[in-house]
């Protein structure tokens, strides 16, 4: 440094010049450090702003993707509910045409009574038929016996 050359020449003037130069060097270093720090701060601020813009862009894309997914899900849900409503309507139509248990029970009871009446009639007719067949059998047996008796009587007389 320049002051090392001034070893034996120190006086108030040289001391003043020394202090002023030290202060000036300090100010220069301080200004350079401030400028460097400000440039570094601006650079970091720009990087942060770029990162924020990237995050905002990504956030907007994510929100758009979510909105599209929600719209698709709502559409699919509406279609599913439409098919469920169609199914409900079909079931309602079928139920309107189905017969109730009370109606079936009353119809079945009526059919059972008619079946019993028909069974009773068939039994009566069958009984009469059996009786008639038995009558015919007795009649033929009686005619046969009468013919035999007549033949025996005719042979003897």
Positive/negative CA dihedral, 22, 24, 29, 34:
positive
pLDDT value of residue 25: 93
Claim: this prediction has a pTM higher than 0.75:
no
pLDDT value of residue 6: 52
pLDDT value of residue 29: 92
The span from the CA of 73 to the CA of 79, in Å, is: 10
End-to-end CA distance of the chain: 193
């Amino acid at each position: 440094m320049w002051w090392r050359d001034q070893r034996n020449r120190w006086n108030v003037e040289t001391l003043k010049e020394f202090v002023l130069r030290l202060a000036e060097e300090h100010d220069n270093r301080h200004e350079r450090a401030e400028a460097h720090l400000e440039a570094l701060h601006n650079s970091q601020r720009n990087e942060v702003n770029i990162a924020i813009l990237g995050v905002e862009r990504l956030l907007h894309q994510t929100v758009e993707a979510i909105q599209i997914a929600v719209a698709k899900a709502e559409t699919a849900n509406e279609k599913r509910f439409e098919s469920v409503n169609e199914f409900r309507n079909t079931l309602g139509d079928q139920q309107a045409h189905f017969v109730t248990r009370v109606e079936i029970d009353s119809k079945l009871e009526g059919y059972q009574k008619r079946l019993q009446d028909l069974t009773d009639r068939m039994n009566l007719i069958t009984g009469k038929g059996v009786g008639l067949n038995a009558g015919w059998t007795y009649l033929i047996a009686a005619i046969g016996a009468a013919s035999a008796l007549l033949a025996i009587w005719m042979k003897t007389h």
